[in-house]
Amino acid sequence: MLVLCDNAACRSGRHWTRRQADECYSRGLIYEQELLDGTFDDRWRAEQQHDFERRMEAVRLKNLASELDGYQPEAAWSPAGERANESGERQLRALRDHLHAIGSLSFVGAYDVNLQLRTGRPHPLNGMAADICGASSCDVLIAWATDAFAALGDEVQLDVPVQALRGDTTLTHDLLNRSPGDEFVDPGYVFASLARSTADFHLERAQELDDTHRPALVTLNLHAALYIPPLDQRSRELREIGDAVWTFSRMAEQFIVPAGSRWRVNSVTTSSPDGIVRADLTQLP
């Protein structure tokens, strides 16, 4: 027997059970109150946005499953890349509960977070970063990253030392005032790559963001850093774990050196035809 519904906003007016009718009536009371206090439109828009995001994520995961059907990782670029990939696979399995934090730090928050860490002054997190990763401030992202590297622990040690490249402007001022043998601590996170092309790309981007400092191409001799293998070289297990986390799935090949690492300057060359400062640094224990 159909039960009449007391919810004036109900489209059907009848329900199969009293419980359904009561639940609909309760929603109707909420609806009426939201109309009175003006919050109905806001809730409706939030629900529509959440529903859209949920459906898009479902489509992404479905496409991912199809993409991984028969997936075989490509070979590493070099012997150094192969050893770095082995380190990265080991490290990221240990960080499977912190992949969103790592992806958020690298994908959207690196510039703002490092500016705050290196200047020691609060810096706002850009709106796009906040929307994408769900962090309300640089402090939140820093806390996430700190927790992630704490969870990584001794796994941060690479299987073998490696040379990586970084294109940047943020370290240039510091490097210009240093000589071979000098040691210093960088309070920020350092991002680097095995690929010269990646370093060149970030060098150009850094110049666009900061035209007040000379560009620098820095060789980093690393022994402790988190490594993110190239997407097409990741194992199937890592793809299944990581691709399900949207922020992490967008990450390109890179090293992430923990904040507060100590460095020794091996060389600094400031005179070059292209105006680029070149430096060689070694990460210290």
Give CA–CA dist 43/34, Å, rounded: 9
- Residue at which a domain ends, from 21, 45, 67: 67
Residue range of the domain that includes 15: 3-67
Three-class secondary structure of residue 69 per DSSP? coil
| Domain shared by 184 and 57, yes or no | no
What whole-number distance in Å separates Cα of residue 207 and Cα of residue 193?
A: 18
In a domain, 73, yes or no: no
On whether both 48 and 158 belong to a single domain, the answer is no
| Statement: residue 100 has pLDDT above 90 | yes
Asked whether residue 210 is domain-assigned, the answer is yes
- Residue 219 in domain: yes
59 and 90 together in one domain: no
Q: Are residues 92 and 149 in the same domain?
A: yes
- What is the mean predicted confidence (pLDDT) over 264-268? 96
Distance CA 209, CA 39 (A): 40
Q: Is residue 60 situated within a structural domain?
A: yes
Q: List CB contacts of 23: < 8 A, sequence separation 6 or more.
A: none
pTM above the 0.85 mark?
no
Same domain, 144 and 273: yes
- Give me the CATH number covering residue 236: 3.90.176.10
Out of 88-102, 115-129, 144-158, 185-199, least confident range:
115-129
Give how many domains the chain has, as a whole number: 2
3 state DSSP class of 129: helix
* Residue 3 reports pLDDT greater than 60: no
Whether 97 and 45 share a structural domain: no
In this structure, the answer to whether residues 10 and 111 fall within a common structural domain is no
Same-domain check for residues 138 and 273: yes
Does residue 155 or residue 172 have the better pLDDT? Answer: 155
Most confidently predicted of 160-174, 210-224, 257-271: 257-271
Claim to verify: residue 216 and residue 254 sit in the same structural domain: yes
